[in-house]
């Protein structure tokens, strides 16, 4: 029986993971569930899954969470604030931690799970984009098992599972991208938040939905892939594949390509990350090839979607550019979702922040957090009034 902590339990990834866990009560029990501010959602999950601890990120809501548990007759211990997130990520009784907080806000507890040697099921891509070197180092030092949840990286993990180390030399990674809701839309100036969040193939949180619409999501994933698989930027490609059936591929020097396929359902990579090296059912529909008909591919349009290019540049540039890119993107996306910035203003803001702020390579978590804070300040200063 594996004890699991879910950071970001009320989100799209968190609830999908709980759906998988509920299918296998003999294998997994929930140790802790966390949320930032969704008191009722967290209390409902506590009643259903019976965790020992529930953590609310916004500590001022602890009292309301206690009340919500009492109303439902749920008995979990209640904690609040950032230190409590770290505590449940590294608690000795925990075997596996799902990092499913959105944004760099998830970095510190994700790092704590790595340092504590847990199975780290990583969905929180912003954490590895902001602090890739630190996180990978923490995984090694802590002896953690890092299992990618992001469907592309999970696919590559699956493609590489049976591949010998000697075969990996010179391999290329091919990340697939759906292209988002605006693949065929020429004028992106008047895009509304609801249009940007209406993804054709996946139902996700609003931040990653906007990232998918700008292709920044794929940019963050290029950086994520480079760290996870230790592959240089020159050997990571992106191809648009609107059906989201091939989740990513690995190409070897002899021209052979391995691909991983499935219906677009995050429960599949979550089940893989939970059960690895075994396999369990996930609830995902089987692929029906006859109904699918065709799989198509095209090159990404970097002119309409410059964010993907910015991410490649940041990865090439090194230093702290990826952390700056991520922070600027978080600020710009939030402003767009609040109606304070045009869709095309997201890329423009990020470009200006990257030009204005180029800090040196951070040497520890405090420096990363300081760079993240400064980059947010610079980005906020560039938003329209
Ligand atoms: P979401 O917005 O649906 O959920 C986010 C969760 O994090 C919620 O539980 C929320 O309470 C919590 N949270 C938000 N801000 C927080 C903060 N400051 N401190 C602590 N907790 C906080 O997001 P999501 O779509 O589930 O995405 C979560 C992560 O997984 C993101 O990094 C995203 O890029 C990644 N991801 C998501 C998908 C997907 O299909 N949704 C796919 C691949 C990767
Ligand atoms: Mg992805």
Q: What is the pLDDT of residues 93-140, one digit of tens each?
A: 999 999 999 999 999 999 999 999 999 999 999 999 999 999 999 999
What DSSP element (H or E) covers 98? strand 96-99
CA of 168 to the centre of ligand 1 (A): 32
Quick one: which ligand is closest to 334's CA? 1
Report the C-alpha gap between 222 and 165 in whole angstroms. Answer: 21
Q: What are the beta bridge partners of residue 98?
A: 6, 121
- Separation CA 256–CA 384 (nearest Å): 49
State residue 203's pLDDT score: 87
Question: Locate tokens 């309409």: which residue?
Answer: 304
Mean pLDDT for 28-42 is 98
C-alpha 328/C-alpha 378 separation (Å) is: 8
Q: Are 238 and 177 in contact (CB under 8 A)?
A: yes
Between the CA of 129 and the centroid of ligand 1 the distance, in Å, is 15
Q: Measured between alpha carbons, how far is 154 from 116 in angstroms, rounded to an integer?
A: 22
Confidence of residue 199 (pLDDT cuts 50, 70, 90): confident
Q: What is the pLDDT of residue 162?
A: 87
User: Taking CB atoms and a 6 Å cutoff, what residues make up the pocket around ligand 1?
Assistant: 8-14, 35-36, 38, 57, 100-102, 105, 123-126, 150, 202, 204-205, 208, 266
Determine the atom of ligand 1 nearest the C-alpha atom of 10.
Answer: 9
Q: Is the alpha carbon torsion for 77, 48, 31, 142 positive or negative?
A: negative
Segment 131-169, tens digit of pLDDT:
999 999 999 999 999 999 999 999 999 999 989 988 999
Inter-axis angle of helices 343-356 and 321-337, nearest 10:
150
pLDDT in tens, 310-354: 999 999 999 999 999 999 999 999 999 999 999 999 999 999 999
Taking alpha carbons only, the member of 57, 63, 62 closest to residue 37 is: 57
**Confidence band for 172, pLDDT divided at 50, 70 and 90:** very high
- Describe the crossing of helices 206-214 and 321-337 by its angle, rounded to 10 degrees: 110
pLDDT at 154: 99
- Per the document, the length of the chain is 385
């Amino acid at each position: 029986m594996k004890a699991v902590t879910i950071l970001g339990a009320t989100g799209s990834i968190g609830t999908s993971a709980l759906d998988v866990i509920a299918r296998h009560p003999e294998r997994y029990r929930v140790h802790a569930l966390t949320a930032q501010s969704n008191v009722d959602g967290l209390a409902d999950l506590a009643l259903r899954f019976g965790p020992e601890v529930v953590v609310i990120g916004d500590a001022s809501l602890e009292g309301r969470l206690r009340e919500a548990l009492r109303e439902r007759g749920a008995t979990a211990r209640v904690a609040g604030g950032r230190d409590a997130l770290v505590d449940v990520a590294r608690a000795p009784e925990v075997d596996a931690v799902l990092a499913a907080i959105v944004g760099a806000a998830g970095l510190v507890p994700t790092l704590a799970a790595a340092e504590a040697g847990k199975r780290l099921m990583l969905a929180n891509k912003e954490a590895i984009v902001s602090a890739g070197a630190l996180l990978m180092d923490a995984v090694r030092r802590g002896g953690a098992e890092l299992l990618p949840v992001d469907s592309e990286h999970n696919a590559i993990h699956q493609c590489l599972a049976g591949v010998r180390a000697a075969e990996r030399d010179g391999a290329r990674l091919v990340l697939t991208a759906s292209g988002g809701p605006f693949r065929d839309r020429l004028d992106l100036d008047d895009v509304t938040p609801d249009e940007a969040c209406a993804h054709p193939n996946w139902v996700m949180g609003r931040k990653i939905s906007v990232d998918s619409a700008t292709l920044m999501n794929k940019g963050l994933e290029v950086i994520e892939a480079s760290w996870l698989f230790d592959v240089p930027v020159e050997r990571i490609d992106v191809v648009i594949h609107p059906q989201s059936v091939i989740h990513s591929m690995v190409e070897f020097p002899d021209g052979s390509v391995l691909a991983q396929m499935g219906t677009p359902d995050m429960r599949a990579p979550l089940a893989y990350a939970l059960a690895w090296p075994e396999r369990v059912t996930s609830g995902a529909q089987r692929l029906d090839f006859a109904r699918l008909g065709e799989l198509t591919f095209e090159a990404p349009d970097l002119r309409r979607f410059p964010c993907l290019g910015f991410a490649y540049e940041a990865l090439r540039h090194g230093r702290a550019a990826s952390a700056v890119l991520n922070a600027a993107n978080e600020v710009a996306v939030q402003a767009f979702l609040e109606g304070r910035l045009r869709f095309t203003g997201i890329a423009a803001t990020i470009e200006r922040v990257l030009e204005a702020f180029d800090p040196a390579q951070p040497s520890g978590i405090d420096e990363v957090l300081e760079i993240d804070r400064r980059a947010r300040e610079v980005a906020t200063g560039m938003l329209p009034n």
